[in-house]
Amino acid sequence: MNDQRTNVAIIGSGEIATDLMCKVLEAEGLSLAFVAGRDPKSRGLAIAKERGIETSADGFKFLKAHSDAYDIVFDATFANAHVEHNAFFSASGKFAVDLTPAGICMACVPSGIDAMARQIDVTQADAVAELARELNEERAVDILVNKAGIAIVTDFLDTPDDVWTRTMQVYSDAAFWCGREFGRHMAKRGAGSIVNIGSIASAVLFLASDAASYCTATILTVDGGYTSW
């Protein structure tokens, strides 16, 4: 019987990539060639090695050097890296799947809406205040979904102080600045809603619901995580 499975590569060694690895290993039509990341100490690469999968800490460089070993690549890195990655994958005739939340959200946003985009550093109170003023001058902001995030993957014991500080600035300070500044305008109008999303809290609720029956978690043990495979 001929093996008709499609060769697959995964770039990234974080939670999304590790969860995907478990699913690919169980898929009858896929064969996982390797997992490439950037952190040689990452838990994702360690788990891949434990399961007998070839790994590399050279990330995208490794994929470029071994492009003949896979047909599909799942990109679970960061949004900024996808521009460079996609240019190579497209030129090489590879089918690339963007698995980061930012990429997935683009497929979920309904068409036919009037949307504006602004890029600021939400850890700067003055920048947030200016954005709130600018947007409310153009059109009243009725709902604020407070969900700025940052993902720097490193072992806990090796986490530098500046990474910890930056992470807390994004998740804590920025949530406060945004809530306060947009809340000012809502209070003046006497109406408005602010939705603060905690990553772990929302994940617990999701994984504990029937909606999560199709997936596993890689850190939270609500439904077994990748150890259930």
pTM of structure = 0.53
Q: What is the mean pLDDT of residues 137-154?
A: 82
Considering the domain architecture, whether residues 94 and 130 belong to the same structural domain is answered as: no
pLDDT higher at 16 or 206 = 16
Residue 227 confidence (pLDDT) above 90 = no
Does the residue 195 lie in any domain?
yes
pLDDT tens-place string over residues 65-120: 998 999 999 988 876 677 788 888 888 888 888 766 555 555 555 566 677 778 88
- What does the pLDDT read at residue 28? 85
Considering the domain architecture, whether residues 135 and 177 belong to the same structural domain is answered as: yes
Considering the domain architecture, whether residues 23 and 82 belong to the same structural domain is answered as: yes
Structural domain containing residue 70:
6-98
Q: What is the mean pLDDT of residues 217-224?
A: 46
Mean pLDDT across the chain, nearest whole number?
80
- What does the pLDDT read at residue 23? 87
End-to-end distance of the chain based on CA atoms, in angstroms?
Answer: 26
CATH number at 33 reads 3.40.50.720
Residue 139 confidence (pLDDT) above 90 = no
* Neighbour-count burial of 111, counting CB atoms closer than 10 A to its CB (0-12 exposed, 13-18 middle, 19+ buried): exposed
pLDDT higher at 226 or 54 = 54
User: In the chain, what is the greatest distance between 2 CA atoms, to the nearest angstrom?
Assistant: 72
Considering the domain architecture, whether residues 136 and 77 belong to the same structural domain is answered as: no
Considering the domain architecture, whether residues 65 and 135 belong to the same structural domain is answered as: no
Residue 58 confidence (pLDDT) above 70 = yes
Run of H or E residues at 194:
strand 193-196
Domain termination residue (choose one: 80, 98, 116)? 98
pLDDT tens-place string over residues 193-206: 888 876 555 566 66
For 10-48, give the DSSP string: EE--SHHHHHHHHHHHH-TTEEEEEEE-S-TT-HHHHHH
Are the C-beta atoms of 74 and 10 separated by less than 8 Å?
yes
